[in-house]
Amino acid sequence: MDLKYLNLRSVISMADSNRTSRRTFLKTTAMAGLGASVLPGFDAAASLPLLNSVKSAGPVVISSRNGQQTVLKALELIRSGSDALDAVVAGVNLVEEDPNDTSVGYGGLPNEDGVVQLDSCVMHGPTCRAGGVAAIEGIMYPSRVAKLVLERTDHVLLVAEGAVRFAKMHGFPIENLLTERARLEWVKWKEGLSNKDDYLPPHGPDDKNIGQNIEPPEMHYGTIHCSAIDLAGNISGVTTTSGLSYKIPGRVGDSPIIGAGCYVDNLVGAAGSTGRGEANLENLCSFMIVERMRMGDSPQQACLNVCERVADHTKVAHLLDDQGRPNFGLNFYALSVDGRVGGAGMWGSNGSFAVADSNGSRLEPMAYLYKR
Tell me: does residue 243 bind ligand ASP (CB under 6 A). yes
CB 167 within 8 A of CB 145: yes
Give the other-Cβ count within 10 Å of 318's Cβ.
5
Contact 260, 103 (CB under 8 A): no
Beta carbon of residue 1, minimum distance to ligand ASP (angstroms, whole number): 33
For residue 92, give the nearest of 127, 112, 133, 120 by alpha carbon.
Answer: 120
Asked if 164 and 174 count as a contact pair (C-beta separation under 8 A), the reply is: yes
How far is the C-alpha of 211 from the C-alpha of 209, rounded, in Å?
5
Binder to ligand ASP among 63, 70, 255, 361 (CB under 6 A)? Answer: 255
Neighbours of 322 (CB within 10 A): 6
User: What x-and-dash track marks residues 209-228 binding ligand ASP by CB under 6 A?
Assistant: ------------xxx-----
Closest CA relative to residue 310, chosen from 270, 347, 351, 353: 347
Selecting among 24, 70, 223, 314, the annotated active-site residue is: 223
* 176/201 Cα distance (integer angstroms): 25
CA distance 135 to 139: 10
Applying CB under 6 A, the site for ligand ASP has a residue count of 13
141, 142, 147, 148 alpha-carbon torsion, rounded to 10°? 90
The verdict on 141 binding ligand ASP (CB under 6 A) reads no
CA distance 15 to 33: 32
Nearer to ligand ASP, 86 or 119 (CB): 119
Looking at residues 291 to 320 of the shown chain, list those that interact with ligand ASP (rule: CB under 6 A).
none
Between residues 186 and 357, which has the closer beta carbon with respect to ligand ASP?
186
Shortest distance (Å) from residue 17 CB to ligand ASP:
29
Segment interacting with ligand ASP (CB under 6 A) among 20-28, 148-156, 208-216, 240-248: 240-248
Site for ligand ASP in 160-199 (CB under 6 A): none
Residue choice 110, 192, 277, 299 for contact with ligand ASP (CB under 6 A): 277
223 is catalytic: yes
Q: Which is nearer to ligand ASP, 20 or 286 (CB)?
A: 286
Shorter beta-carbon distance to ligand ASP: residue 220 or 294: 220
Distances (CA, A) of 104 to 50, 80, 340: 29, 27, 27
Q: Contact between 150 and ligand ASP (CB under 6 A)?
A: no
Which residues from 314-353 bind ligand ASP, rule CB under 6 A?
A: none
Is the Cβ of residue 256 or residue 269 nearer to ligand ASP in the bound state?
Answer: 256
The footprint of ligand ASP (CB under 6 A) covers 221-223, 241, 243-244, 253-255, 274-277
Active site residues: 223
